[in-house]
């Protein structure tokens, strides 16, 4: 008994069972080579029977064929966690790992997807269409400008006082960090499947951050724009493999829950002012012509 007792061979492949913490299915040890093939939702994996695992391995072998034919057309990078999604436009496939060591999905297995900014909808896609919600993030970032200049002034003041203090404080009190939270923290990507082993895959992509010693609204907006380009690339890629004939539709933020297009209204003086503001944003390259047009239509109620 104990460590040196001989374990029976893997019931799946007859291979050797690892002596260190081998995986078990229905109380039977299985080898690492078999276990490492498992790529499915955790609650499905936990209750798996040996029979179900054998069926899964047949699915796994079939999936291997998709891996063999996979040609990468597009790769989307999720930053911090180094998650990547790779797409094969020709065969309409995608995989959540650039090494093709995870399940390869067929575009037709994607039922829908949503992309949110801290749970506020930004994109919703399905065969019925791609909905694009107008983000309030740039607007909210701009309203932070007074707080930011206040911070920079305080910081400057503290440095000056410190200098007058003749180094007694030894510089330790001067370091102030900007700690007001950004308009949002993360893009939440959710993919919903019609698939035997996957119902949903969720992953977050960090939103831009303020520089904590030299915060700047324009820097923030520029990195937000870069993130949005990556998000738009993802939407286009998902649409290409899963919903090629879906049309794109803009939805204004107030109608998020129902998704119905806003009702027309009479343009007010405020609306004209707002449009001017967005026009400047477009001219500065912070928003696209398309986004400007959408915002203008929304504000004019046309």
**Contacting positions for Zn ion (CB under 5 A):** 10, 12-13, 15, 31, 34
How far is residue 280 CA from its own chain's centroid?
Answer: 28
Q: How far is the CB of 8 from Zn ion (least distance, A)?
A: 12
Which of 17, 287 has the CB closer to Zn ion?
Answer: 17
Give whichever of 39 and 74 is closer to Zn ion, judged by the CB atom. Answer: 39
Helices marked H in the chain — which ranges?
Answer: 32-35, 42-46, 50-69, 137-142, 145-164, 217-242, 269-283, 289-300
Closest approach, Cβ 21 to Zn ion, in A, equals 15
Q: How far apart are CA 237 and CA 244, in angstroms?
A: 10
State phi, psi for 119 to the nearest 5 degrees. 70, 5
- Smallest distance, Zn ion to C-beta of residue 28, A: 11
The nearest distance, CB 9 to Zn ion, in angstroms, is: 8
- Sequence-distant (6+) residues with CB within 8 A of 195 are 105, 109
Nearer to Zn ion, 53 or 151 (CB): 53
What is the distance between the alpha carbons of residues 87 and 76, in angstroms, rounded to a whole number?
8
| CB closer to Zn ion, 45 vs 120 | 45
18 vs 225, beta carbon nearer Zn ion: 18
**Residue 116 beta carbon to Zn ion: minimum distance, rounded to whole angstroms:** 40
| Residues constituting the chain | 302
36 vs 149 by CB, closer to Zn ion = 36
Q: Minimum distance from CB of 218 to Zn ion (Å)?
A: 57
Rounded distance between C-alpha atoms, residue 271 and residue 244, angstroms: 35
The CA distances from residue 244 to 101, 107, 240, 299, in Å, are: 26, 10, 5, 30
């Amino acid at each position: 008994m104990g460590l040196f007792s001989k374990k029976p061979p893997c019931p799946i492949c007859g291979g050797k069972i690892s002596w260190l913490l081998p995986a078990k299915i229905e109380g039977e040890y299985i080898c690492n080579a078999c276990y490492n093939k498992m790529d499915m939702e955790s609650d499905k994996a936990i209750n798996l029977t040996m029979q179900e695992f054998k069926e899964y391995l047949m699915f796994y072998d079939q999936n291997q064929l998709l891996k063999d034919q996979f040609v990468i057309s597009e790769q989307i990078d999720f930053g911090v966690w180094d998650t990547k999604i790779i797409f094969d436009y020709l065969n309409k496939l995608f995989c959540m790992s650039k090494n093709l060591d995870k399940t390869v999905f067929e575009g037709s297995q994607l039922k829908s997807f949503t992309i949110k900014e801290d749970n506020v909808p930004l994109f919703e896609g399905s065969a019925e269409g791609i909905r694009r919600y107008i983000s309030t993030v740039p607007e909210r970032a701009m309203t932070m400008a007074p707080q930011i200049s206040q911070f920079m002034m305080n910081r400057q003041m503290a440095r000056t006082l410190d200098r007058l203090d003749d180094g007694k404080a030894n510089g330790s009190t001067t370091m102030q960090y900007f700690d007001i939270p950004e308009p949002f923290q993360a893009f939440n990507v959710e993919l919903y499947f019609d698939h035997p082993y996957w119902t949903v895959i969720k992953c977050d992509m960090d939103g831009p951050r303020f520089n904590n010693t030299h915060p700047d609204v324009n820097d923030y907006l520029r990195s937000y724009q870069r993130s949005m380009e990556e998000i738009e690339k993802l939407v286009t890629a998902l649409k290409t493999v899963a919903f090629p004939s879906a049309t794109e539709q803009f939805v204004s933020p107030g109608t998020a829950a129902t998704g119905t297009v806003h009702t027309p209204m009479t343009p007010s003086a405020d609306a004209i002012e707002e449009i001017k503001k967005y026009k400047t944003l477009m001219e500065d390259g912070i928003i696209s012509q398309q986004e400007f047009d959408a915002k203008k239509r929304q504000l004019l109620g046309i």
